Structure 1
Amino acid sequence: MTKLLLVEDHEELWDFLSRRLRRRGFDVVLAHNGQQALEKVASDEPDLMLLDMDLPIMDGWTVAKTLRTQSNAIPIIALTAHAMSGDRTKALAAGCDEYHSKPVDFDLLLTQVDEVLLRREEKDA
């Protein structure tokens, strides 16, 4: 079972996404701030992270940059309300593998999850 780390500080969104992802067969681990995200990556070893970029304690930009300094870093999909020109480029430059603007389009998000995991498998093969 694919394990996803959902890092989101808004209860309505983490509840919505975690329930829908679990129904799709994913094992979902939650973190509600950037520091918890780093701790969960180390302790739970998820296959992929869905990372809100605006988080308390440590923002998602810092989390992504920190994780990119590690070897064999976890794939990251940025979840952000930042949908201005250049925000996608900024997220990718921070170390994210993909970018998804809020409000979440769940079907598109699932497609992105599948694509990022497939790229990871091909890279590791």
Structure 2
Amino acid sequence: MTAKQILYVEDNEDNIYMLKRRLERKGYQIHVAYTGEEGVLKVDEVKPDLILMDLTLPGISGFEAIEQIRLTNTNVPIIVLSAHAMDSYMNESVAVGANDFDTKPVDLKRLIQKIESLI
């Protein structure tokens, strides 16, 4: 069985290192984009099974990146990962096209359940 491809859009090296390693141990192949723009471009290149999207990114925000991805790709599931645990961030994420929302620091068991339910 081929590993599921996840595009992780995140600019914090510590977060990338920690989550990428943990997800790879679970059998996922992780591709990283460091900016919103790079994330939008990598969707066509990587053709991910799922996207993990930070909201606070250099250049365009995660919200804007999701909007741009949804213009051409309506099917790929997107989970927002944010340190902002407020309902307004969750509601705006869903409004621009995210499928789900989770908070940082990441609870790996909960995140894996969300990933599995979407792919």
Local SS of the residue matching 1:88:
helix
The Cα shift of 1:5 comes to 0.4
Alignment of 1:58-77 (within 5 A): 58-77=60-79
State the AA in 2 paired with 1:18. K
The Cα shift of 1:71 comes to 4.4
What is the CA deviation profile of residues 80-123 of structure 1, one whole-angstrom value per residue up to 9, with x for unaligned ones?
11111322111100110000011111111101101111xxxxxx
Q: Tell me what 1:25 maps to.
A: 27
Distance 1:44 1:11 in 2: 20
Q: Percent identity?
A: 33
Local SS of the residue matching 2:72:
coil
CA-atom RMSD in angstroms: 1.1
Equivalent pair of 2:55/2:63 in contact (CA under 8 Å): yes
Distance 2:84 2:51 in 1: 18
Distance 1:111 1:64 in 2: 22
Distance 1:92 1:65 in 2: 10
Distance 2:45 2:23 in 1: 21
Deviates further, 11-20 or 84-93? 84-93
**Structure 1: 5+ residue stretches without partners:** 118-125
Q: TM-score, normalised by structure 2?
A: 0.93
Q: Tell me what 2:48 maps to.
A: 46
Local SS of the residue matching 1:9:
coil
Distance 1:78 1:72 in 2: 15
Alignment of 1:110-125 (within 5 A): 110-117=112-119
State the AA in 1 paired with 2:110. L
Local SS of the residue matching 2:67:
helix
Moved over 4 A (4+): none
Q: TM-score, normalised by structure 1?
A: 0.89
Count matched residues: 117
- In structure 2, the CA distance between the partners of 1:38 and 1:71, relative to structure 1 (3 Å rule), is closer
**Structure 2: 5+ residue stretches without partners:** none
Equivalent pair of 1:37/1:63 in contact (CA under 8 Å): yes
Q: Tell me what 2:14 maps to.
A: 12
